[in-house]
Every structure is written in C-alpha cells, then in structure tokens.
Amino acid sequence: MSETLDPTKQSAPEAGSGVGPTLRELRLAQSCTLNEASTRLKFSVRQLEALEAQEWSQLPGGQPLRGMVRNYARFLETDVSAVLVMLESQVSDTAAPKPVPRDHSGSGLASTDLGLYAESRGGSGWIWILIIIVLLLVAGFYAIDRGWVPDQWLVFDWLKDLKK
C-alpha cells in the first residue's frame, strides 16, 4: 500500500475491509489522533478503539451503535450511507440503514425530520399556552380582590368595582 489515502476520494469505502479498519484508515489519512477524534465526537478513546478494532461486545448495539458510526463517518467526511451499509453487513442487531436526503441549510435536520418533530408535539403547545393565560388571569383577579394592585393601575371601572 504505497498509495496514500485521500479523504476526498474515499467517499465510498471498500466493502471488504470492514467498518472499523475503514474508519481507522480514514482517520489516519487525515492525520487525526484518537484523542482529537474523541474530543470532537464526545466519545471516549476506549469506545473509538473498540469501534476501530470491531470489538462489538464492548460497544452498545442497535441504534446507539449506528449513531456512533454515523457521527464518526460525518466527522471523517466520508459517505455515511456506505459506512452504515458496511456496519449492517457486519452487525446483525442494527436496524437497516435508510439514507435520508439532507437539507444543507446548516440546521442539521432533514425536511423529513421536521415533519416527525411537529407530529410528536401533537399540538400540546397551545394547551400549555391556554393554561398559562388562565392561571395569569386568576392570579391577577386574586391580586385585585386582595387589594394588592394600586388604583392607578386599574384603567377600567369594572376592575375598580372588583376591588371593593
């Protein structure tokens, strides 16, 4: 292997080498240490070493593993979908990767992610706003009834009548 790895040409990692060695080669091609990657990704050096060595028993399974590999691939600026396909072929307990077209507006969310976020809230935001408004009205009328509000603040005559 006298050929150096160029991260811009590594958009589709080789399928035979495995996820761990591929990520290690990409990291080394960028002259990045495990400590630098650990600091940037907020994963421990031990987790990254286990990932690069493909020691699946020392790593979480399922979606957390997929998220870890996805973040590492993004950090290394490689084809995330290809790396997730490699992971799926190696580890059977992860969900099948579903490439999602990304919105490049800088928000980090795809247009499909926004729909899921809106659906998950279920309109409960309006309920909370109404509850807060009702509580403020009750507290205001209570303060007027107790005489805690000066007469100058009561601009309507019917509010002054409440105070008496």
Residue 38: predicted pLDDT: 87
97 lies in the same domain as 158: no
Q: What is the CATH number of the domain that holds 21?
A: 1.10.260.40
46 lies in the same domain as 82: yes
CA distances from 104 to 34, 55, 101, 111, 123 (A): 28, 34, 9, 10, 28
132 lies in the same domain as 87: no
Higher pLDDT, 14 or 132: 132
- CB count within 10 Å of CB 71 equals 15
67 lies in the same domain as 148: no
91 lies in the same domain as 58: yes
| 111 domain residue, yes or no | no
pLDDT confidence tier of residue 7, bands split at 50, 70 and 90: very low
**Number of compact structural domains in the chain:** 2
| 35 domain residue, yes or no | yes
> Whole-number mean pLDDT of the chain?
77
| 109 domain residue, yes or no | no
The answer to whether 74 and 13 are in contact (CB under 8 A) is no
pLDDT confidence tier of residue 12, bands split at 50, 70 and 90: very low
| 143 domain residue, yes or no | yes
Higher pLDDT, 95 or 48: 48
Higher pLDDT, 11 or 51: 51
Residue 5: predicted pLDDT: 43
Q: Which two tokens stand for residue 24?
A: 């290690």
Q: Does pLDDT of 3 surpass 90?
A: no
Residue 59: predicted pLDDT: 87
Pick the last residue of a domain from 102, 135, 153: 102
Residue 114: predicted pLDDT: 52
- In 3D space, the residue among 25, 42, 110 whose CA is nearest the CA of residue 76 turns out to be 25
- In 3D space, the residue among 49, 83, 54 whose CA is nearest the CA of residue 67 turns out to be 83
Domain span at residue 67 reads: 1-102
